[in-house]
Amino acid sequence: MAHNGLRDYGGLMQGLLLRLSETDGAASAMRVIAFFDMLLERRASPRALVQATAGLAQCVVGWRRSNGSVIRLAPSAAQSRQLNDPPSPSVELEIADHGVVWLERPGSPEPFDELVLERLALVAGALGPHSRPRQDGGTEFDATQVLVDSTRSEDARAAAARTLGLRSDRPVVLVAVRHCMKRDPSVWARDLEQCWPADRVHVTSQDGLAAVVVQQVVTHDTIEHSLSEHLLTTMSAESRSDPELRAGTSTPRLATQAHLCWEEARTALRFAGATRMDVVASYERLGSLTLLARVPTSVLREDAGVRAIAQLRARPTGADQLGVLQAFCRTGSLRQASTELHLHHSTIASHLARISAKVHWDLTTPLGRLSALTSLYADHLCNS
């Protein structure tokens, strides 16, 4: 059975870390070999393999795979998210047909670095890609596409899940990523894999979007938070130049229901960016707002509030006023909106008063704010 995350490997790793260098050399070497044998037996994912090695070696570990993607992780998830500098291998090893693996050890090498790197390379080469030949003898199929394809049978999706090493007793979350720059969707998605160290992450292109399947030990909230943080910080420069760089996340479901997750993720994606800074939309958190996605855009455009938003956008100062309204609806506070927009709160209040006068929303009341926010979402759906 495939295992995901370091929680499965934690017990053995802790024993190894206490401490390889303090015990008999031959015994320690056998423990290292046994550790990697276990990873191979449990069919560790590429990310889990690199993460486990980083935890064992207590340094940054990388694997540049034959498809050009790079997995580079530190011993902890927090440290991995801070890896913004280029790789600086202290020792590396090439794997035939499977790329290059390396350790990034600051200072002098540890006694077992060469053995750790050697076993990492052997297991990486043995595990290979998570795909297999088609039964008709043709080219390799994309198991991730099979998983999210609603036209496939449940048995086919179950087989694809097994091929990808996904556990049947643990839910998956689907992430839909949209962009407008001239790059393959998987380029963005492989970068986004850095959000979720040590877990199974699979990427494919589907319906013109990047589809990312994530199976984690951690909670769904952590998936959403990590994704938002990554888009707003690590990729902030890209986000500014690519306003359509957005993502939607599904509710957690079993892998055989990944096609339903994909529908939810695509629906959530339509809402992302409605108030500018909400670059990630969660289907679960949208709640009954998702009902808006079922309303034909022709009907939404006839709504008085949606027409008011469109008229506001068309005015010379409309972009600024719309930005104020979006920030206020998102934060629910004059002061928070002023901090975000770097404007005095009295300026925010003045803008909102003018909007209220033109649109007839009383933004001082919960109902008025709800009406404004609903109109913002409906307008966004008309243009998404």
The whole-number pLDDT of residue 262 equals 96
Q: Which amino acid is at 296?
A: P
Q: What is the mean pLDDT of residues 278-291?
A: 90
pLDDT score for 5: 43
Residue 15 has pLDDT above 50, yes or no: no
Q: Which of 246, 248, 279 is nearest to 263 (CA)?
A: 248
Evaluate if residue 220 carries a pLDDT over 90.
no
Fold of 6-127: Beta-Lactamase (3.30.450)
Higher pLDDT, 191 or 333: 333
H or E stretch covering 258: helix 258-271
Domain locations in the chain?
6-127, 143-288, 297-382
| High-pLDDT (> 90) share of the chain, % | 20
Residue 59 has a pLDDT of 92
Residue appearing with tokens 């229901």: 257
Q: How confident is the model at residue 86 (pLDDT cuts 50, 70, 90)?
A: confident
Average pLDDT, stretch 353-361? 78
**pLDDT at 249 exceeding the cut of 90:** yes
pLDDT band at 24 (very low <50, low <70, confident <90, very high): low
- Return the percentage of the chain with pLDDT > 70, whole number: 79
More confident residue, 110 or 14: 110
Mean pLDDT of 294-323: 86
Burial class (CB in 10 A: 0-12, 13-18, 19+), 275: buried
Burial class for 60, CB neighbours closer than 10 Å (0-12, 13-18, 19+): buried
Confidence of residue 199 (pLDDT cuts 50, 70, 90): low
| Residues 313, 166: Cα–Cα separation, whole Å | 46
74-88, 130-144, 192-206, 344-358: segment of lowest average pLDDT: 130-144
Strand partners of residue 73: 61
Q: Is 278 exposed, middle or buried (0-12, 13-18, 19+ CB in 10 A)?
A: middle
In this model, does residue 280 exceed pLDDT 70? yes
Are 273 and 279 in contact, with CB atoms under 8 Å apart? yes
Six-digit token pair at 75?
């011993």
Average pLDDT over the chain reads 78
Residue 47 has pLDDT above 90, yes or no: no
* Identity of the amino acid at 148: V
Instruction: Identify which of 51-60, 75-84, 351-360 has the greatest average pLDDT.
Output: 51-60
Residue 297 makes CB contacts below 8 A (sequence gap 6+) with 381, 382
- Report the distance separating Cα 146 and Cα 136, nearest Å: 16
| pLDDT band of 263, cuts 50, 70, 90 | very high
Is the pLDDT score of 221 beyond 80? no
Q: What is the mean pLDDT of residues 298-310?
A: 90
- pLDDT over 60 at 54, yes or no: yes
Is residue 152 scored above 80 in pLDDT? yes
Above 80 in pLDDT, residue 119?
yes
- What is residue 19's predicted lDDT score, i.e. its pLDDT? 45
From the number of C-beta atoms within 10 Å of its C-beta (0-12, 13-18, 19+), residue 288 rates as exposed
CA distance 33 to 35: 5
The answer to whether 198 and 73 are in contact (CB under 8 A) is yes
> From CA 99, how far away is CA 116, in angstroms rounded?
17
Residues 70 and 191 sit within 8 Å (Cβ to Cβ)? no
> Is the pLDDT reported for residue 191 higher than 90?
no
Name the pairing type of β-strands 173-178 and 246-249: antiparallel
At 190 the three-state DSSP class reads helix
CATH class, range 297-382? mainly alpha
Res 153 pLDDT > 50: yes
Nearest CA to 57 out of 99, 21, 30 is that of 21
Residue 193 confidence (pLDDT): 65
Does residue 138 have a pLDDT over 50?
no
Interval 11-36 mean pLDDT: 62
Measured over the CA atoms of residue 20, residue 23, residue 28 and residue 29, the dihedral's sign is positive
Tell me what pLDDT residue 201 has.
Answer: 79
Domain spanning 143-288, CATH architecture: 2-Layer Sandwich (3.30)
Residue 20, pLDDT above cutoff 80: no
Is the pLDDT higher at 237 or at 7? 237
What's the mean pLDDT in 95-109? 87
Compute the distance between CA of residue 327 and CA of residue 108 in angstroms, rounded to an integer.
51
* pLDDT band at 189; cut points 50, 70, 90: low
With 60 as the cut, is the pLDDT of residue 32 above it? Answer: yes
